[in-house]
Amino acid sequence: MNQPRPLVPSRFVRPSIPRPGGGRDRAALVREAYEAIAQGSRSFALASKLFDRPTRERVWMLYAWCRRCDDLADAQDLGGELGDQAGIEDRVQAIKVLTRRALEGGATADPAFDALGQVAGEAGITLDMANEVIAGFAMDANGFSPASEKELMRYCYHVAGAVGVLMARVMFAPNDSFIYDRACDLGLAFQLANISRDLVEDARAGRCYLPEDWLAEAGLTCENYADEENRFALAAVSARLVDRMEMYEAASRLGAKHLRFRQRWAVLTAARIYGAIGRKVRARGQLAWDTRTYVTLPEKLWHVAAAFGEALTKHAPEPEQWPPYKREDLRPVAGW
């Protein structure tokens, strides 16, 4: 049987050469990455400007990938309202394929994934490191709902704690397990704040991130915890999330002491702003989900100034109570 002839003789075909960023212009990737962070997280965008230029560019490119993965998995746009969750398994598979291609130096036709390829080449991010983050999206695709606090924290590790570790990587933080553990703690604190703020929104999308045993103690279930008549009980359960957030937040400050000044200032600013979100949710009680909880610009600027003082003095007291789970307790990639 005659084989079809190639359109171009094989001697003229050359394999594509792997290049960081898929061959895209780095400056263009940085610009697009900043647009993603400016629209997707105004709080983190503000804090990121406190980094020195090389660090903030790498942070923006890593954030762009995280934001794009989150948007793809949740069928949303720049962290907006959750979309139709049908087909999430296919979307997670696409994230895996594009991430692998980006880390191999191939072009992906998606600036956020090409940005990951660029920053990975600069900071030594591996596929295993990226997969620990993608595992969190896979958990959502599999209908994850925690039975216990440890299961909740394992999920938080994959979607945020592992991102904290990557952030330490792109900051070229000292290669010390204690510092990386504290970076993970900060990511965990961020995610707990986000969960507390978005409890009702997540419930509308059919998701429940509150441990089943916590709900049972409050007389609630995954099916009814967000109902209007249960908001008082929900506020008590949410307060437990914020209490845990504060433990991880306090532990993370010990790691920030070992960063360079501007990195320390940026990290502490972000910690203060996200911590303020969680504490506002707790303070608002049963009214916390009537309107979205946020930190105003004057409040953010106050946190920038307060973090400057913390960064200058390296003031970070030993936590009164260490978080119950360490990175080593949460690291194994969940089955996916």
List all residues 6 or more positions away from 214 whose beta carbon is below 8 Å from its beta carbon.
Answer: 149, 237, 240
Domain-located, residue 19: no
Q: Is residue 23 scored above 90 in pLDDT? A: no
51-76 mean pLDDT: 90
Q: Cα–Cα–Cα angle for 236, 328, 310, nearest 5°?
A: 65
Query: Residue 10 pLDDT > 50, yes or no?
Result: no
Question: Does 8 reside within a domain?
Answer: no
Mean pLDDT for the stretch of residues 156-165: 96
As a whole number of angstroms, the distance between CA 121 and CA 113 comes to 13
What pLDDT does residue 83 have?
A: 52
In a domain, 18, yes or no: no
pLDDT of residue 90: 84
Is 15 part of a structural domain of the chain?
no
- Domain span at residue 173? 24-330
Question: Of all helices (H) and strands (E), which one includes residue 91?
Answer: helix 88-103
Residue 172 contacts residue 235 (beta carbons within 8 Å):
no
The reported pLDDT for the residue numbered 107 is 87
Mean pLDDT in residue range 254-268? 95
Residue 12 pLDDT class (50, 70, 90 cuts): very low
The predicted structure's pLDDT at residue 80? 47
Distance CA 189, CA 273 (A): 11
The whole-number average pLDDT for the span 55-60 is 95
Q: How confident is the model at residue 9 (pLDDT cuts 50, 70, 90)?
A: very low
Mean of pLDDT values over 48-69: 94
Measured distance CA(309)–CA(307) in Å, rounded? 5
Q: Check whether 20 has a pLDDT greater than 70.
A: no
Average pLDDT of the segment spanning 112-134: 94
What pLDDT was estimated at residue 259?
94
- Give the count of domains, the chain: 1
Residue closest to 255 by CA, chosen among 167, 136, 152, 158:
167
pLDDT of residue 296: 95
Q: Is the residue at 106 inside a domain?
A: yes
> Which residues, 6+ apart, have CB-to-CB distance to 238 below 8 Å?
196, 199, 281, 282, 288
SS3 of 306-321: HHHHHHHHCCCCCCCC
**Lowest-confidence pick of 82-91, 98-107, 121-130:** 82-91
Q: Look at residue 81 in the predicted model and tell me its pLDDT.
A: 58
CA distances from 177 to 88, 135, 209 (A): 34, 22, 28
Report yes or no on 10 lying in a domain: no
Q: Per mean pLDDT, which range of 28-42, 76-90, 210-224, 231-245 is the poorest?
A: 76-90
Q: Judge whether 222 lies within some domain.
A: yes
Is position 265 within any domain?
yes
The confidence band for 13, taking pLDDT boundaries of 50, 70 and 90, is very low
Q: Can you give the pTM of this predicted structure? A: 0.87
Q: Report how far apart, in Å, the C-alpha atoms of 246 and of each of 12, 46, 243, 294, 303 are.
A: 61, 22, 5, 17, 16
CATH number where 216 lies: 1.10.600.10
Written as six digits, the tokens of 101 are: 């291609």
pLDDT given for residue 18 in this prediction: 63
pLDDT recorded at residue 8: 42
Cα(29)–Cα(111) distance, integer angstroms: 6
Mean pLDDT within 154-179: 95
Q: Retrieve residue 321's tokens.
A: 């109570």
- What is the average pLDDT score of the chain? 88
